[in-house]
Amino acid sequence: MTYCAALRLKQGMVFASDTRTNAGVDHISTFRKIYTYGIDGERFIVLQTAGNLATSQAVFTRLQNDINLKQESNLNTVVSLFDAAQMVGRYMREITSHAQEVANEPNNANFTSSFMLGGQIKGQPTELYMIYPEGNCIRATTDTPFFQLGESKYGKPILDRSVTYEADLYHSAQALMLSFDSTIRSNLSVGMPIDMVIYENDSLKVPNMKRIVESDEYFSVISKHWSDSLRESLLNLPNYPDDYWDK
C-alpha cells in the first residue's frame, strides 16, 4: 500500500510520501513515490503517486523523457499546473489501458494508479491537484487545504484537527510527520523512509527532497514527544460526572 499527503497552505506547500510497496506481506520493497520538477526562478512541480507501481513508474518515465527529449509540451513548458495535471491524467489512462489490453483484462483495476500534482508557476498562485485513475482531477481550495492518497484513514484525524489554510507551514509539516507516524504504527503496509518536500510560496525554487529514515533523530523525538503528550492528555481528561456510569 502507500500513504501520501500534500498540504496547500497560505504560506506554502508540504508534500510527503512513504516508500513501501508490497505484493503480499512477503514481498516488500522500497520505492520512491514522489518526484520534483522545475526550473529555479520559473516553476516548481511535485508529483506523488499511489497504486500500481508499474503504471506510476511508466508515467514518471514518460514525463521525464518529454523533458529530456525537449518535447514541445512537457512539465517545464506547460503554461499552467492544470495542463500539467491533464497531461499526467492522459499518460496514466494510456498506460493503464495498454496494460489492461496486453493482459486482456480490460476492467482490471489493479493496473490503475492515482497521482497528486502540486507546485507553482511564476506569476500564478500555488495549486494542488488530485488526479483520479479515471484521468480527471480536482483542485485543492482554501476550504480543503490537504489531499491524501492510499492508506489515508489512520492519519486523517490529526490533519482534520490541526491543518487549516491559515496554519503555520512548518508546524503543519510536523503534524504531517505525525500523521505518517500514526499510520506507520497502525498499518504494516506503510513504512519508512518518508520522502518530504516543503515549498515556501513564491520562492520558485525547487526544494531538496528530505528523506526521513528510521534512524532520523528528530522524527523519533517528536514521535515520542507526541505519544507522551497524548498519553498525558488522556490521563488529564476531566473526570466523569458522578452519575455518568451507574454502577
CA of 236: how far to CAs of 178, 225, 232, 240, in Å? 21, 16, 6, 12
CB burial string 102-139: b at 16+ within 10 A, e below: eeeeeeeeebbbbbbbbbbbeeeebbbbbbebebebeb
Binding site for its own copies (CB under 8 A): 153-158, 160-162, 170-171, 174-175, 178, 182-183, 185-187, 198, 200, 207-208, 210, 217-218, 221-222, 225-227, 229-231, 233-238, 240-241, 244-247
Q: Name which of 68 and 233 has its Cβ closer to its own copies.
A: 233
Q: How far is the CB of 220 from its own copies (least distance, A)?
A: 11
d(CA 21, CA 79): 33
Q: How far is the CB of 101 from its own copies (least distance, A)?
A: 28
Q: Name which of 122 and 185 has its Cβ closer to its own copies.
A: 185
Q: How far is the CB of 143 from its own copies (least distance, A)?
A: 16
Q: Name which of 90 and 185 has its Cβ closer to its own copies.
A: 185
d(CA 115, CA 55): 11
Q: How far is the CB of 173 from its own copies (least distance, A)?
A: 8
Q: Name which of 25 and 235 has its Cβ closer to its own copies.
A: 235
Residue 213: burial class (beta carbons within 10 Å; 0-12, 13-18, 19+): exposed
Which residue is listed with cell 500555488? 126
Q: Which residues lie below 8 Å from residue 119, measured CB to CB, with a gap of 6+?
A: 13, 37, 38, 43, 44, 45, 46, 81, 126, 127, 199
Q: How far is the CB of 176 from its own copies (least distance, A)?
A: 11
Helices 53-68 and 81-102 pack at an angle, to 10 degrees, of 130
Q: How far is the CB of 65 from its own copies (least distance, A)?
A: 29
Nearest 5°: the CA angle 35, 31, 98 is 80
Q: Name which of 90 and 153 has its Cβ closer to its own copies.
A: 153
Q: Name which of 69 and 235 has its Cβ closer to its own copies.
A: 235
Rounded to whole angstroms, the maximal C-alpha distance in the chain is 75
Q: How far is the CB of 184 from its own copies (least distance, A)?
A: 10
Q: Name which of 23 and 235 has its Cβ closer to its own copies.
A: 235
